[in-house]
Chain A
Amino acid sequence: MRSLLLLLCFPMLAFGAAQQPLGPVQCDSNSTAVKLSEGQLAAAKQTEAALRNGSIEANLVNVDALNLLALAQYEWYRQSEASVTARTVADIWKREAPSAAIAARVQAHARQQLAYTSCKAAETLFDAALDIARKAVGEGDMLAVEIMSDLAVLYRVQRRLPERLALYKRIATALRADPTLGTRVPQVYIEMSDIAFRNKEYGEAEQHARMAIKHLDNGAEAPSLALAAALNEAAAALYGQGKLQEGDKLRDRAKNIVRVANGLGPVEVKVQQQPLDTVASLYKRGQVDAALAKALQELRASEAKEVALVTALTALQADPISQQVPIGEVRKRELASASRAIETQKYRTVYALADAADIHHSQERLAEAEPLYRKAFDMVADKSIKSPIAARLAHGLGIILRRKGELTEAERFQHIAHANAQAEMGAEHPDALEAQVELARLYAAQGKLPEATKLYTLLATREEQRSDADRTLLSEHLMPLAQLQLQQGDLAAAEPNFVKVAQLWRQGGTKNDRFLIASLEGLARLYAKQGKTADAKSIDAQLAALGRAK
């Protein structure tokens, strides 16, 4: 038995995840195709011999036998002959007067070929079936839509996106003309959703998936797996649009359907399995001292192992075999492997140092944190710039330096943090954004007001454009931006930013919220500068009311 196994290892450096078997492989793979029985193979051999000696003809009487022969030829690894035989079958059917019944029979032949993964033969027959159906009943008929849907599945398996897209447009036209077709073949919408998704049209993909859900979700006690597929398609489309929570709800429902179908019962509660004694889990539980002790223990262990590995490499290098010129291939590989092991161990040490530094930092023990950051950073500084750990270390160190008043040096480290995080994780990643916030603070603190303004504008714009924009984060960018604009006398730019923050916190914010007060205060100063006495007084009144409420 030939098998394909999948092992998903998330995150990137996680090893040892459980293996799970993958479903059957499709198109053009004899390894997982349905096999013909001995009887069928014998019958196919007889048909082949009879054709050769002229005792039978390739006509309607023998069309089923010929289709079986095409399958057998495919199984005998004679794919070219299988394609020719399938073409003969298609031609036989095409010679008949077109009718829905014939189209349905050709479709059945094509499906049989697809089930046996004989894709070329299946395509020839689906094309013929569609041609006959169009002539007999028109492309708007359900039979034609079904055949197009089958063909779309085949194109999907063959990864032929342009052909799928063209077919999708034809199916969509038929469905628009007669929406009742969708009710009868809801799976078509799942296929259309997938095509739209591949074309990065996530909104459209969601609409199609929701149509499929609408048709499939009939309140049955045991919903079909097709409904699970539709729910998952919709979830993927929602993720594509940044609507995580909505997507998760649909995906959870799909998971439950699959579990019930497999006799496992619905999942009521999600339990996140987390190791109890990691640095992160101890810290998250508030056991800060235990977390630090754990980090230091890991650090000592890693450093000891590093020393042992270096000693082993030195011994290997001193070995006479290693001194031979030219050096043997086996020894060369052993030396390279020993060097790689040291590098890997060094990174473990770096992570342990970073953990310990971060814990000290979080507890305001800056003097303890700084040397740990520096030691770790020195260990990775000469490595690739695309390193998330370098970004993490530079960011932590930069904050400490800012707090010590060493602003130029702090800025240098935050630039490194930003460049590393952006290169490896993208401009929108929190690590990159946090470094940018720090840089903006540093620019402002050093009097580089235009640079700070530009950066806060960028940060605020990015946050505003997010589908899941967070008003706290947005306010954290807009407030200093407005303050900077006010400081530089750009009152026209400052005003809408103060107003925006005030509006964010008037709607659903608490009356004594810091952002609301700060933004109103900013507006009052701005109006006073502009000589808008009445507006300034109105804001003063609002502030006074807030003060009383507080």
Chain B
Amino acid sequence: MRKSISRLTLALLSGFLSIHAAAQVPRPAIALAAQTHKPFVPRFARTEQNPEVVWIDSCDKPVYPKASLRNEESGTVVLRLKIAANGAILENVVARSSGFRELDKSAIAGFATCKYRPATINGRAVQSNAQISFIFRLD
């Protein structure tokens, strides 16, 4: 009985430690028997969920800077955020400027305060990148 279970165990264990008879290897590899391997699953087949702002009202809203209003500055700021697996913002940078420094600064100052639900892969929280476009428009 012990022997048969042992064979089964070794066969199952070999999924973890993949062994190849390797002439190039000077030291003997772990002596596990027959090899099975986990099927390869493409990354696009994973169940992925993107990060989300928990609640838009919880963000400190970007302010239209007074000087920008006076100078009639407008434009779109594209922010790139790196969001940690706990929803915290690790990095925020201007990926594309509006062309006006004050507008860019205002957008960052606002959106750096949002709270995020982290991205998930197969249900587990992971670090991710997100992009936010913010439009300052004078109608």
Spell out A's residues near B (CB within 8 Å): 1-14, 19-20, 22-32, 77, 156-157, 159, 194, 197-198, 200, 202, 228-229, 232-233, 235-236, 239-242, 244, 247-248, 251, 254, 279-280, 283-284, 355, 358-359, 361-362, 392, 396, 399, 402-403, 405, 407-408, 425-426, 428-431, 441-442, 444-449, 468, 470, 476, 479-480, 483-484, 487, 514, 517-518, 521-522, 524, 540, 543-544, 546-547
Contact = CB atoms under 8 A, between A and B. Distances in A.
A73 to B, nearest CB: 15
A444 B29 contact: yes
Given A19-B135, A441-B16, 10 more contacts: A6-B134, A7-B76, A30-B69, A156-B60, A239-B118, A241-B86, A362-B42, A426-B127, A441-B18, A483-B30
A104 B32 CA distance: 79
B57 to A, nearest CB: 6
A10 B51 contact: yes
A283 B129 contact: no
Contact of B37 (A403, A428, A517): A403
B34 interface: no
| Most central of A228, A441, A544 by chain B CB within 10 Å | A441
27 contacts: A1-B139, A3-B139, A4-B136, A7-B135, A9-B131, A12-B131, A13-B131, A240-B87, A241-B86, A244-B117, A283-B42, A355-B42, A358-B43, A441-B17, A444-B19, A445-B17, A446-B25, A446-B27, A447-B30, A448-B27, A479-B13, A480-B13, A480-B17, A517-B8, A521-B5, A543-B2, A543-B5
A29 B12 contact: no
Contact of B63 (A13, A27, A283, A359): A27
Among B16, B39, B63, chain A packs the most CB atoms within 10 A around the CB of B16
Given A4-B61, A445-B29, A483-B13, A428 B127 contact: yes
B139 to A, nearest CB: 5
Contacts of B21: 405
B120 to A, nearest CB: 7
A157 B66 contact: no
B50 A283 contact: no
B28 A447 contact: yes
Nearest to B81: A12
Nearest to A438: B18
Interface string B65-100: 010010000001000100011111000000000000
Contacts of A10: 50-52, 130-131
Contacts of B131: 9-14
Contact of A239 (B54, B109, B128, B130): B54
Given A444-B17, A517-B9, A251 B41 contact: no
A66 B31 CA distance: 89
A23 B60 contact: no
Contact of B137 (A3, A25, A242, A396): A3
B22 A445 contact: yes
A197 B59 CA distance: 13
Interface of B: 1-2, 4-6, 8-9, 12-13, 16-22, 24-32, 37, 39-46, 50-58, 60-64, 66, 69, 76, 80, 84-88, 109, 113, 115-139
B134 A4 contact: yes
Contacts of B115: 197, 232, 236, 239
B69 to A, nearest CB: 6
A483 B17 contact: yes
Contacts of A19: 135
Contacts of A77: 66
B59 to A, nearest CB: 8
B139 A2 contact: yes
Contacts of B60: 26, 156-157, 159
A193 to B, nearest CB: 10
Nearest to B76: A7
Contacts of A283: 42, 44-45
B113 to A, nearest CB: 7
A421 to B, nearest CB: 10
Contact of A159 (B12, B87, B113): B113
Contacts of B30: 444-445, 447, 449, 483-484, 487
A361 B42 contact: yes
A447 B18 CA distance: 11
B18 to A, nearest CB: 5
A232 B17 contact: no
A279 B66 contact: no
A547 B43 contact: no
A239 B25 contact: no
A23 B31 CA distance: 65
B87 A26 contact: no
Contacts of A403: 18, 37
B16 A251 contact: no
A429 B127 contact: yes
B58 to A, nearest CB: 6
A197 B69 CA distance: 33
A429 B122 CA distance: 12
Nearest to B139: A1
**Which A-B residue pairs are the 7 nearest by beta carbons?**
A447-B27, A358-B42, A10-B50, A7-B133, A5-B135, A236-B115, A426-B127
Contacts of A4: 61-62, 64, 134-137
Nearest to A468: B124
